[in-house]
Amino acid sequence: MKLLKVAALLCCTTVLHANFVTETIDNMGNDLKEYRTYPRMEKAKNFIAKGELNKAKKLLKKVLEIDSSDPEASKMLVTLCLQKKDFSCAKRYVHTVKPVLYAKYYEINLLYGQKKYAEAYKLASSISDDSALKKEEKFQKDMILLKSAILSNNKQAVQKYLPSMLHTSKNKMCHPETSNIIALLLEKKMLDEATQEISFYLKKCKKDVHLNKKRIVWADILRDNGRTKEALGIINTMDNSIQKYEQQMLVFIKDEKFKSAAETMEKIYHSKPNLSNRKRLVYLYEKAGRKDKIKVLYTKEYQANKDAADLKKLLYMNKERGEAFKILKQYYPYQGLSKDEKFNFSSTLIKTYAQMGNKRNKILTILDNLSALTGLSPKQKAFISYQYHRQNSNAKAIRILETLYAANPTKEYRKRLLFLYDKTKGYTKQKESLLLANASSMCDRKLLLPLLDIKQKSRRVLKRLELDYPFNCLAGKEKLNAMMTLLRDAKKRGNIHKVKKILTDMSRMKELSKKELLTLAYEFGRYKEYGVSNKMLSRVLKKDPRNFEAHKIIAENYYATKHYSQARHYFQKAYKLHPNAYELANVLGELYSRNKEYKQALYYWDQYLKHKHSKQIILKAAKLALLMDDAKRARGYLSGLSRPVVRHESEYYTLKAKLAELKNDNSQALAYYRKALKYGKNNTDTLYRYANLLAKEKRYKDAITYVKKIIPHTRDKAKYYAQIGYWYQKYGKDKEAALAFKKALKYQKDPQYYKALGYSEVKLKHHEHAVNSFKRSLDLLEKEGTGTASEKYNLKRSIKYMEDSFTGYFAYVSSNRAVGNVSPIITDDTIGGYSALRLSYTPRSYTDRLQFYLNTAVGIKNKNITMAEGTTQPSVGVSYQVTNNTMIVVSVEKLIKSGSKSRDDVLMRVSGKFFDDYSFDPALKNKWFKSLYIDIAYFFEHDSYRFYSKYEQGYMQKINYQNAWMPYISASITYDNDNNTKKSMYNYDIGMGLSYLFWLDEEKYRSHAYTGRASVEARKAYKTNYKNDDQIQMMLELLF
CA proximity to 829, closest of 934, 968, 916? 934
CA proximity to 360, closest of 328, 401, 331, 389? 389
The residue-averaged pLDDT of 993-1002 equals 92
pLDDT digits (tens, 9 = 90+) for 559-575: 999 999 999 999 999 99
pLDDT bucket at 957, cuts 50 / 70 / 90: very high
Return the ∠ at Cα 20 (arms to 18 and 24), rounded to 5°.
Answer: 115
Quick one: what percent of the chain has pLDDT higher than 70? 90
Distance from C-alpha of 106 to C-alpha of 144, rounded to nearest angstrom: 11
Locate the domains of the chain by residue range: 512-567, 807-1039
Greater model confidence, 467 or 168: 467
Distance from C-alpha of 74 to C-alpha of 78, rounded to nearest angstrom: 6
pLDDT digits (tens, 9 = 90+) for 403-455: 888 888 887 887 888 788 878 876 655 665 666 554 556 777 777 776 676 66
Kindly report the backbone phi and psi dihedral angles of residue 982, in degrees, each rounded to the nearest multiple of 5, phi listed first.
Answer: 55, 35
Cβ atoms 276, 257 nearer than 8 A: no
pLDDT bucket at 168, cuts 50 / 70 / 90: low
pLDDT value, residue 33: 59
The residue-averaged pLDDT of 376-390 equals 90
Which parts of 359-494 are beta strand (E)?
none
pLDDT value, residue 742: 96
pLDDT value, residue 815: 64
pLDDT at 967 over 90: yes
pLDDT digits (tens, 9 = 90+) for 770-803: 999 999 999 999 999 998 988 988 998 899 888 8
pLDDT digits (tens, 9 = 90+) for 35-63: 677 888 888 888 888 888 888 888 888 88
pLDDT value, residue 746: 95
Strand 850-859 relative to strand 1010-1024, pairing: unpaired
CA proximity to 824, closest of 835, 810, 809, 812? 835
Q: Is 559 helix (H, G, I), strand (E, B) or coil?
A: helix
List Cα–Cα distances, 253 to 228, 281, 494, 902, 1007, in angstroms.
Answer: 10, 12, 75, 124, 99
Q: Which CATH architecture has domain 512-567?
A: Alpha Horseshoe (1.25)
pLDDT digits (tens, 9 = 90+) for 236-259: 888 788 888 888 888 888 888 888
DSSP designation for 78: H
pLDDT value, residue 172: 62
pLDDT at 651 over 90: no
CA proximity to 486, closest of 541, 979, 500, 442? 500
pLDDT value, residue 319: 56
Q: Is 778 helix (H, G, I), strand (E, B) or coil?
A: helix
Distance from C-alpha of 654 to C-alpha of 685, rounded to nearest angstrom: 9
Distance from C-alpha of 375 to C-alpha of 272, rounded to nearest angstrom: 38
pLDDT at 314 over 80: no
CA proximity to 953, closest of 973, 928, 935? 928
pLDDT bucket at 855, cuts 50 / 70 / 90: very high
If you write DSSP's letter for every residue of 394-422 in order, what string do you get?
A: HHHHHHHHHHHHHH---HHHHHHHHHHHH
Greatest mean pLDDT range, 225-234, 266-275, 307-316, 984-993: 984-993
pLDDT at 1020 over 60: yes
pLDDT value, residue 433: 63
CA proximity to 66, closest of 90, 100, 40? 40
Distance from C-alpha of 1026 to C-alpha of 1037, rounded to nearest angstrom: 25
Quick one: what percent of the chain has pLDDT higher than 90? 25
Distance from C-alpha of 738 to C-alpha of 50, rounded to nearest angstrom: 85
Q: What is the mean pLDDT of the chain?
A: 83
Greater model confidence, 979 or 435: 979
pLDDT value, residue 10: 28
Q: How far is CA 149 from the centre of its chain?
A: 45
pLDDT value, residue 77: 85
The residue-averaged pLDDT of 583-600 equals 92
Residues in CB range of 696: below 8 A, 6 or more apart: 666
Burial class (CB in 10 A: 0-12, 13-18, 19+), 207: exposed
Distance from C-alpha of 1005 to C-alpha of 795, rounded to nearest angstrom: 8
Distance from C-alpha of 344 to C-alpha of 361, rounded to nearest angstrom: 19
User: The whole model's pTM is what?
Assistant: 0.49
Q: How many CB atoms lie within 10 A of CB 738?
A: 24
Range name among 433-437, 451-455, 503-507, 891-895 with the lowest pLDDT average = 433-437
Greatest mean pLDDT range, 62-66, 206-210, 381-385: 381-385
The domain covering 807-1039 belongs, at the CATH homologous superfamily level, to monomeric porin ompg (2.40.160.40)
Q: Is 953 helix (H, G, I), strand (E, B) or coil?
A: strand
List Cα–Cα distances, 533 to 149, 415, 483, 565, 919, in angstroms.
Answer: 76, 33, 17, 18, 69
Distance from C-alpha of 163 to C-alpha of 169, rounded to nearest angstrom: 10
The residue-averaged pLDDT of 941-960 equals 92
Strand 926-939 relative to strand 944-960, pairing: antiparallel
CA proximity to 297, closest of 264, 343, 266, 259? 266
Range name among 152-156, 300-304, 513-517, 666-670 with the lowest pLDDT average = 300-304
If you write DSSP's letter for every residue of 854-876 in order, what string do you get?
A: EEEEEEB-TTSSSBPTT--EEEE
Distance from C-alpha of 561 to C-alpha of 554, rounded to nearest angstrom: 11
Q: Is 355 helix (H, G, I), strand (E, B) or coil?
A: helix
pLDDT value, residue 1030: 62
pLDDT value, residue 435: 65
The residue-averaged pLDDT of 678-684 equals 81
Following CA atoms 933, 936, 941, 942 in sequence, which dihedral angle do they give, to the nearest 10 degrees?
80
